[in-house]
Amino acid sequence: METLLIVISILIIILVLLQSNKASDASQIITGGNAVLLGKTKERGLERIITMITYGLGFAFIVISFILSI
Q: Mind listing the pLDDT tens digit for each residue in 46-69?
A: 888 998 999 999 999 999 999 999
What's the CA gap between 5 and 63, in Å, rounded? Answer: 10
> At 19, phi and psi to the nearest 5?
-70, 155
What's the CA gap between 59 and 49, in Å, rounded? Answer: 15
What's the predicted TM-score (pTM) here?
Answer: 0.70
Would you state the pLDDT for residue 1?
87
Q: Mind listing the pLDDT tens digit for each residue in 27-44?
A: 555 665 555 555 556 677
What's the CA gap between 33 and 4, in Å, rounded? Answer: 41
Say if CB 64 and CB 5 are below 8 A apart: yes
